[in-house]
Structures are given as C-alpha cells and as structure tokens.
Amino acid sequence: MRTRERRDVGRVRHATMVALWLAVVGTAGCDVPTALPRFENVLALPAPDITVPVTGFASPALPVRVDLSNVDADFAARARGGEIRFTPTNPEDGTGTLQVTIRDVDSDVVVMQTVTVDAQGTPQIVTIGQDEMIAFLGGDVEITVMGTLGPGQIPTRLLVLDILVRITFEVGGE
C-alpha cells in the first residue's frame, strides 16, 4: 500500500510542478501593462453650413473655412484620424451627387470624396486619415462642394449641408 501512496504523492508533486511551470512560462510570455491604458476619444466641432443650389446641372457651392488654428502640437500629435459628417436639410427633396474637397489652406494636403444626397437627408461621412488630419490641425481647412442636385426649378432652390468635424485622438499612455 505504501508504494502506491508514494506513487500517488509523486504524481501529485509532478502535476503540481508542471502546472507551476506552465503558469510561470505563461505569465512571462504575456504583455503586462506597465503604463496607463490608451484609448481613443472623439472631439466634435461644428463648422459653418454649406448652401448648395439645386439646379439640375453641375453647380459649385461657396466654399467654407474651418478654423483649426488653435490646436496645439501635443494634441495634433495624438490625432488618429477623423471624419466630416454632412447632414442635408432638404425641404425640396433635391437629390444627386456631390464632390467634397477638403484642403489645408497652407499646404497641398487634400481629401476628396463623393457623397450622395437623398430625399430623406441621410447623413454622409467623409473619412480623413491620420496623416491628413495631422496636417489639417493647426491651420485653416477649406471645404468645397460641387455637383449636380435636381430636379432644377425656377426659382432656384437651395439645399443646406450641416457640417460636423469629428477628430479622433489618443488619450492616456505615454
């Protein structure tokens, strides 16, 4: 009987040592956080509305400028990208396609994207990458819209695009 008990005790010790060894190796292989956690947050900034004529043929809207010059370098370095949301106020049910151009006034950084305007006023999103957003921060950004909205009528109807700039940035960690 004693030999059997010794074997059982030996197996338990062996199993315990293997479990302990696996725990140590598993812990050593994991990333153990050593700093504050990092997460992303979004800053939303309203911008001037854009009024687009509903003419039935290609028409430009007057460009608007968004002042991002008060953004400091530390905040700009934490930028991870962003977007500009265009929400149409469309009382006349104008529909069509618009080419949106967003450019930094002081450099050659440009983001272009096509958005579709429907009768329901569905918000449209223009995505801005990290490099472009960093270039936009700290200066003025000009937003230009051109396209065809119809059907055209006399007198000319107008569609208003409500603009919201959303900047995604990293918070925490070092």
Compute mean pLDDT per 10 residues along the chain, 174 residues long, and list them. 56 66 57 63 89 88 91 87 92 86 92 93 94 92 93 82 91 67
In this structure, which amino acid lies at residue 32? V
73: left (phi over 0), alpha (psi -120 to 50) or beta: alpha
Residues found in the chain: 174
* pLDDT of amino acid 141: 94
* pLDDT of amino acid 142: 96
* pLDDT of amino acid 90: 77
Which class is 38-172 in CATH? Answer: mainly beta
Q: Rounded CA gap, 144 and 109, in Å? A: 14
Whether 173 contacts 77, CB under 8 Å: no
Q: Rounded CA gap, 144 and 64, in Å? A: 7
For the chain, the structural domain boundaries read 1-32, 38-172
* pLDDT of amino acid 133: 93
Element (H, E) at 6: helix 2-29
